Amino acid sequence: MTTASMWSNRVVRRFFSASLISNFGDWMDFLAITVLFSYHWKLSPMVMALLPLVYAGPSILLGQFSGIVADKWNQRMILVGVDGIRAILTFCLLFVPDYQWMLLLLFLRSVADTLSSPAQQSALRRLVPSEHLFQALTINGTIQQATKVLGPLLGASLLAFASPFVCLLLNACSFVLSAFLLFTLPLPSKGDQTNNLTTNKEKITLDAWLEGWRFILANNRIQVSFLFAMATGMAIQCVDAQFAVLFREVAPTQPELVGWVTSAIGIGSLFVMLVIKKRGTWPSHSMIYGGGTLLLAIAFICLGIMKSGDSILLPVGGAIVGGLGNGLLLLGIQFILQRETPEHLIGRMTGIIDSLRSAVFLIAPLIGGIIIQQLGVSFAFTAIGITLFLLSITGFILAKLVWNKDKEQNKTYSTEAS
C-alpha cells in the first residue's frame, strides 16, 4: 500500500482517532492530578513545582536516544508498547497512598512517554504525502485542542461529584483503546528498514545521533524557531503548574475554575486552527511568533491582576485570548519542523528538541515556585505576562530578519478534505 493511498482511507483516520482518545484522557488526567495535589493534599507551591519536573525530567536523559529509536524501529510497535506501559502505570496511580508514590509513578510514565512524541511525528510524516502535510498538521492540532477543551470540561464536571481517581481510571482506559487502534495500523516499509528490533539495534550509533545535530546546526530557521519557542516556553513554565495555586488564593471555593480556564485556552487554540485550515493559507511569521506571543502576554496579565470576587469573565476571557496565541505558536513550530526536516530525521529532530526544551524547562518551575513564595502568585503571573510582551517584540523583529526570508511563507496549501 502506497503512502498516497493510505492518506485517503481509514488507516490515517485510525491514527488520528488513537491520538484523539489518548489526548482526551491525558487532559482529564492532568486536571485530576492538579486538583489532587492542590485541593485534596493541599501541597505547597514548591511541591507543585515538582510536577513539571517529573513530566519533563526523563526527556532530558532519554529524549535524544528516543528520537533515534523512533527513526530506526517500527513506529507502530513503539506507540503500542508506550500506550500499554502508560495504561499499566496509570492504573497503579489509583492505589497510591500519598503524593511521593504518585510522583514516582508519574516519573516512570514520563520515561515511557519519551518515545511517544518522536514516534508520532515520524509516523505522521510517513503516512501523509507532502502535499497534504499542512492539512494533516491542522487536523492533528485541531484534535489536540479539541481534547484540551472537552477533556478538562468533562474532568471538571466529574470532579464536581466524583473523586479525581475517576479521571485517572478513564485515562488508563483511553491508553488501552489507543493501543488497540494503533496495533491495527500498518506503516509502509521504508527501504531496507525492518521491523525486527534486534536487527536495528546496531544502527543506533553515535553517528546517527550526530547526524541530527549536524542538520540543526546547518538550518538557520530551525535554530531560531526553536530557540524562540524555548524562551517563550520557559517563561510559561515558571507558572504553568501554579494555576491551581492562583485560583486557590483568589477563588478558594471554585476548584473547577482550573478546568474552565484550561478549556478556555483550548477553545482559543481550536478556533485559530479551524480558521487557518478553512483559509488554507499559512499566517505570516510576524503573526505566528510576534502576534502569538503578544496574545499569551495579555492572558497572563489578565490572570495576574485577578482579585478575589472578580467576575469569571476575566480569567476565562484572558485564557481564550491566550489560546489564540498558543494555537498560532503550536502550529507554526510543528510546521517548520515537518517542512524543514527530511523524513528519515524527523524522530531524531523531535527527540533532540524535546530533550533541549525539557532541559531548559527544568529550572523554570523552581524559579516560579521561589518567586511565588517570596512575592506572591499574582505578582508572578503579571511578571510572566510582561516577559512575554517583551518576547513578542523580539518575535516581530526576528520575523523580518530571519523567517520572512522564506519564499514559501505565503504559499497556499491544500486543505481540501480527502
Does residue 2 surpass a pLDDT of 70?
no
Cβ count near 312 (within 10 Å): 14
Question: Between helices 243-250 and 377-401, what is the axis angle to 10°?
Answer: 140
pLDDT one-digit tens code per residue, 148-199? 777 777 777 787 777 888 888 988 999 999 999 888 876 554 444 444 333 3
CA distance 250 to 91: 33
CA distance 392 to 245: 26
Residue 284 amino acid letter: S
C-alpha cell at 167: 479521571
CA distance 333 to 335: 6
CA distances from 4 to 12, 184, 234, 324, 333 (A): 11, 19, 39, 32, 25
CA distance 84 to 157: 27
Cell 491544500 belongs to which residue?
Answer: 414
Predicted TM-score (pTM) of this structure:
0.69
- Phi and psi at 282, nearest 5°, equal -75, 130
The residue ranking higher by pLDDT, 9 or 100, is: 100
Q: What is the pLDDT of residue 164?
A: 85
CA distance 223 to 121: 19
| Mean pLDDT of all residues in 398-406 | 71
Rg, C-alpha atoms of the chain: 21
Does residue 91 surpass a pLDDT of 60?
yes
Q: What residues are paired with 412 via a beta bridge?
A: 281
> Per-residue b/e over 34-65, b at no fewer than 16 CB within 10 Å?
bbbbbbeeebebebbbbbbbbbbbbbbebbbb
| Residue 376, C-beta contacts closer than 8 angstroms, at least 6 positions apart | none
Q: What is the pLDDT of residue 325?
A: 92
Which of 59-73, 157-171, 180-194, 303-317 is least confident? 180-194
Cell 511569521 belongs to which residue?
Answer: 285
Q: What is the pLDDT of residue 192?
A: 41
